[in-house]
Amino acid sequence: MLWYTGKRLLQTIPVFFGATFLIYFMVFSLPGDPIAALFGDHPPAPAVIDQIRAEYNLDKPFIVQYFLYVGGLLTGDLGTTFSGRPVIDVMVKAFPITFRLAMLALAFEAIAGILVGLISGLRKGKWFDSSALVVSLLLISVPTFVIGFVFQLVFGIQLGWARTTVSGDAPWGELVLPAIVLATTSFAYIVRLTRASVADNLNADFVRTATAKGLSRRRVVTVHVLRNSLVPVVTFLGVDVGSLMVGAIVTEGIFNINGVGGTLYRAINLGEGPTVVSFVAVMVIIFMLANLLVDLLYAALDPRIRYAK
Amino acid sequence: MKIKRIGTVAIALASVGALTLTGCASGGGDAPAESGDASAIITTNGNEPQNPLITTNTTEVGGGKITTSIYAGLVSYTADGEIENDVADSIESEDGQHWTVKLKDGWKFTNDEPVTAESFVDAWTYGALFSNAQSTSYFFDNIEGYDGAADSELTGLKVVDDLTFTVDLVAPEADWPLRLGYTAYMPWPKVAFEDIEAYGENPIGNGPYMLAEEGAWEHDVKISLIANPDYDGVRKPVNGGLDIKFFATQDAAYADIQGGNLDVLDGVPDSAFATYEDEFGDRAVNQPAAIFQAFNMPYYLEHWSGDEGKLRRAAISMAINRDEITEVIFEGTRTPATDFTSPVIDGYSDSLEGADVLEYNPEEAKKLWAEADAISPYTGTFDIAYNADGGHQAWVDAVCNSIVNTLGIQAVGKAYPTFAAALDDREQQKLTGATRAGWQADYPSLYNFLAPLYQTGAGSNYEGYSSEEFDNLLKEGSVAPTVEDATAKYQEAQEVLLKDLPTIPLWYSNVNGVSADTVDNVVFGWDSVPLYYQITKE
């Protein structure tokens, strides 16, 4: 187990360098001169643009730029944004906010999704199950930004239960509404996954055996059915951690949250290499760690799974 | 939070005291603010500034809104774009080329340093110096000694005494003082030169507002300004301060003002164009701004130069139904163009000779196009390049349809993924057709709309227009003895443009703003930014 974890952690190193290289190359290949575009319709003197370009090493060939970036990285310098702020400052502000948002969303979709899915699966074909199916279908088919704007209008503007936009520090309380919006699609998938899995397992041999042994219904459901039904759900949640961290661009835009998605979107538009690469690199690591965690959780959920050396 | 608010109130109260005192001393010249809480903080929208708040390096709206609030220059602009002396006592010249600037006595920065002639001269010198790479350096290129490619001394700036300095321009410029309210021309205290980056984080100005505290600029979140008790110019705030919140999208800002979290919003998102006037009633503003929108046809393309090009340009212009497009696509938030400047600029005219070429006239358009075809038949597709990240697709498609329906040629929009990509092809003269073009004035002058765009070899004249007649009129205008004479020349110069049509004027963007019922006296300036100092809040 320890060996396995160590090996997986070591694998992150080449993936990290490969990912940063590729992404740096992609940002470098974006068409147009990012510095000239900063000034819109009012270009300063060409000599000024040249000087700024040199300041950000944009006048050098790609490979030199990349090694300058990696060199800085090893000394803890992630470069600066075009506004002259150290990228590390931007990250330190953005990541905790998005992390809080993603955790709230994850908690919501996991708890509510598994609960609704479990009840649906146990009462397959009854009215609760049918309405859960219809609602989840609806949530899957409606795009996030529609749900976001509707929730903002209803809960923020009309009812006044929540703030229309999130304030600068993004406290937990203000993030609840955006988190629910962010979680809706995944919530619907988890309901469906759990439901199908539970319904399947209810007819499995080991459940019949457990029931025949005279175990209480409660014990059969929680220990035998639910636990075994969670394997696909946990896989989904693990992958979702990554997409929740990255994929919040729309939700962050609607609620004016200064998180990872919005910052990354701006940086890509500006062609700000160091910011894009640093952000994506951290996200790659988050993805890999989340996947590792999921793989380790399998063993806990299903004792038949063991990790070989 | 609580403590901060009490502090703000105390300072704001002190400012009221100061205002009352000066009012008494001068015999009560100004009427007192009729209503409103003088300590109230106005909340409004903004964008994270692109750079540290250094006035000579701030060319975008997000930073400009803040710098104009915390600095006072020689002059400031009224809502109509006219200038009033702020720090300046007088700005005079016999010949339009050699200027003497006298400052009012008693002005100081918020760190108590007096505002002197040196404060201006040093800041301008810094802004103009080549190796400082300031984005506004070209604003000083008409001052003696400026060099855009190497470090040089601005010999045209001379300090005479503490309150007087002289400026020698390279050539006469009658309306030179019009520029001086622009953010590039602000004064700096000595401390700025010690560490310019750090100063840009916590700038010290002499304007109507000042930063509420060290670190009042929370990056990506907001900046908190409070009224400057020592400010005694023409923009005395009647409120206690400004909280400028940064929004990534206008939709979020609009939701905030609907939800009661914002007092003033100076931009309505496209999605609310159809509804905002009903929703906000007389608290909605829809008036032309100093923003000119057009598209250009490059002179380096076949069919678009010489006599044939002239005919085709006029034909295309008359093939576009501007009234319908501004009404249908923009819900009336654009005003059809009648010249090359903007209605908010002094000297604007809607009756220039030849302006009928900007009216929809399908018969004439067809006729001119046929005449051009007689010179050399047109083949292929007419395209208009635009950047897809700027929300231009709807109107480009509408303009193309208008051309297709009138002239019977093929016309399509050509999308570039980003502004940078589109700009690249313009700069390198690699366009295959027309290109979207826009201009927002830096300072309210006709010259600022004309010279940078159409003068031979000018910085933003990418499509290669060159007309001796136009260049000469511009030159005559800039040496004209009075502003009226200058305006007449600039209007004549525009009449040349109407014949040549180096650009096809489309419309002026409007400023679309709304305010909550918590505030009154919301007036938008010529630059589309509300005059914050006038706003009262209960």
Q: Residue B356 is part of a domain; what is its CATH number?
A: 3.10.105.10
CB contact under 8 A, A168 and B222: yes
pLDDT tens-digit map of A74-91? 888 888 888 888 888 888
Q: Phi and psi at residue A205, in whole multiples of 5°?
A: -60, -45
Instruction: Confirm if B359 and B318 have CB atoms less than 8 A apart.
Output: yes
Q: What is the 3-state secondary structure (H, E, C) of A96-144?
A: HHHHHHHHHHHHHHHHHHHHHHHHHHHCCCCHHHHHHHHHHHHHHHCCH
Q: Determine the Cα–Cα distance for residues A84 and A73; give it in Å rounded to an integer.
A: 17
Within 8 A of B251 by CB-CB distance, chain A residues are 149, 253-254
Please give the tally of structural domains in chain B. 2
Within 8 A of B423 by CB-CB distance, chain A residues are 32-33, 36-37
CB contact under 8 A, A254 and B251: yes
Q: Is A159 on the interface with B (CB under 8 A)?
A: no
- Residue B278 inside a domain? The answer is no
Same domain, B199 and B305: no
Residue A172: Cβ within 10 Å count? 11
Q: How confident is the model at residue B459, as a pLDDT?
A: 79
Within 8 A of A166 by CB-CB distance, chain B residues are none
CB contact under 8 A, A43 and B460: yes
CB contact under 8 A, B423 and A93: no
Q: Determine the Cα–Cα distance for residues B484 and B490; give it in Å rounded to an integer.
A: 10
- Residue B260 inside a domain? The answer is no
CB contact under 8 A, B255 and A153: yes
- Residue B192 inside a domain? The answer is yes
Those residues whose C-beta lies under 8 Å from the C-beta of residue B359, and which sit 6 or more positions away, are B318
CB contact under 8 A, A83 and B49: yes
Same domain, B147 and B220: yes
Within 8 A of A34 by CB-CB distance, chain B residues are 420
Q: How confident is the model at residue B31, as a pLDDT?
A: 40
CB contact under 8 A, B51 and A168: no
CB contact under 8 A, B420 and A266: no
Positive or negative torsion for Cα B179, B182, B184, B190 = positive
Same domain, B205 and B354: no
CB contact under 8 A, A33 and B131: no
Same domain, B293 and B190: no
Within 8 A of A169 by CB-CB distance, chain B residues are 221
CB contact under 8 A, B259 and A52: no
SS3 content of chain B, % helix, strand, coil (to 5): 40, 20, 40
CB contact under 8 A, A256 and B256: yes
CB contact under 8 A, A84 and B416: no
Q: Give the CA angle between residues B148, B154, B160 to the nearest 5°.
A: 160
Residue that is last in its domain, among B193, B214, B246: B246
Q: Is A154 on the interface with B (CB under 8 A)?
A: no
Provide the 3-class DSSP secondary structure of residue B36: coil
- Determine the residue of chain A that is closest to B52 in CA distance: A83
Which residues on adjacent β-strands are paired with residue B514? B265, B284
Same domain, B181 and B307: no
Binding-face residues of A in 55-74 toward B, CB within 8 A: 55
For testing contact with chain A, the best of B220, B245, B435, B462 (most A CBs within 10 A)? B220
- Residue B274 inside a domain? The answer is no
Within 8 A of A258 by CB-CB distance, chain B residues are 220-221, 248
Same domain, B106 and B177: yes
Same domain, B335 and B409: yes
Q: Determine the Cα–Cα distance for residues B36 and B524; give it in Å rounded to an integer.
A: 19
Within 8 A of B48 by CB-CB distance, chain A residues are 83
Within 8 A of A43 by CB-CB distance, chain B residues are 459-460
Same domain, B177 and B310: no
Same domain, B298 and B197: no
Binding-face residues of A in 181-240 toward B, CB within 8 A: none
- Residue B147 inside a domain? The answer is yes
From B197, B249, B256, residue closest to A253, measured CB to CB: B249
CB contact under 8 A, A156 and B259: yes
Same domain, B183 and B332: no
Interface A-B, measured as beta-carbon pairs within 8 A, has a size of: 141
Single out the residue of B501, B378, B477, B392 nearest to residue B436, CA to CA.
B392
CB contact under 8 A, A256 and B422: no
Report which DSSP code applies to A41: T
Residue that is last in its domain, among B246, B268, B303: B246
Provide the 3-class DSSP secondary structure of residue A275: helix
Same domain, B214 and B308: no
* pLDDT in 10s for each residue of chain B, 538 residues: 333 333 333 333 333 333 333 333 333 334 444 567 888 999 999 988 888 999 999 888 889 999 999 999 999 999 888 899 999 999 999 888 999 999 999 999 999 999 999 999 999 999 999 889 888 888 998 999 998 888 888 999 999 999 999 999 998 888 899 999 999 999 999 999 999 989 999 999 999 999 999 989 998 899 999 999 999 999 999 999 999 999 988 889 999 999 889 999 998 988 899 899 999 999 999 998 999 999 999 999 989 988 999 999 999 999 999 999 999 999 899 999 999 999 999 889 999 999 999 999 999 999 999 999 999 999 889 999 998 877 889 999 999 999 999 999 999 999 988 888 888 888 888 899 999 998 988 899 899 899 889 999 887 888 889 999 999 999 899 888 788 888 999 999 999 999 999 999 999 999 999 999 999 999 999 988 999 999 999 8
Residue B480: which domain range? Answer: 289-510
- Residue B23 inside a domain? The answer is no
Q: Which parts of chain A have pLDDT scores under 50?
A: 309
B332: left (phi over 0), alpha (psi -120 to 50) or beta: left
Q: How confident is the model at residue B265, as a pLDDT?
A: 94
- Determine the residue of chain B that is closest to A90 in CA distance: B219
Report which DSSP code applies to B40: P
Q: Is A261 on the interface with B (CB under 8 A)?
A: no
Distance from CA of A162 to the nearest CA of B (A): 10
Q: Is A92 on the interface with B (CB under 8 A)?
A: no
- Residue B191 inside a domain? The answer is yes
Within 8 A of A45 by CB-CB distance, chain B residues are 137-138, 141, 148, 459
Instruction: Confirm if A261 and A247 have CB atoms less than 8 A apart.
Output: yes
From A52, A93, A164, residue closest to B133, measured CB to CB: A52
Q: Determine the Cα–Cα distance for residues B317 and B354; give it in Å rounded to an integer.
A: 12
- Determine the residue of chain B that is closest to A45 in CA distance: B138
Q: Give the CA angle between residues A249, A250, A253 to the nearest 5°.
A: 85
Check: pTM over 0.90? Answer yes or no. no
Residue that is last in its domain, among B246, B281, B312: B246
Within 8 A of A40 by CB-CB distance, chain B residues are 60, 419
Q: How confident is the model at residue A217, as a pLDDT?
A: 85
Q: Is A37 on the interface with B (CB under 8 A)?
A: yes
Distance from CA of A96 to the nearest CA of B (A): 15
- Residue B351 inside a domain? The answer is yes
Instruction: Confirm if B238 and B31 have CB atoms less than 8 A apart.
Output: no
Q: What CATH number should be reported for the domain holding residue B158?
A: 3.40.190.10
CB contact under 8 A, A83 and B48: yes
Same domain, B241 and B293: no
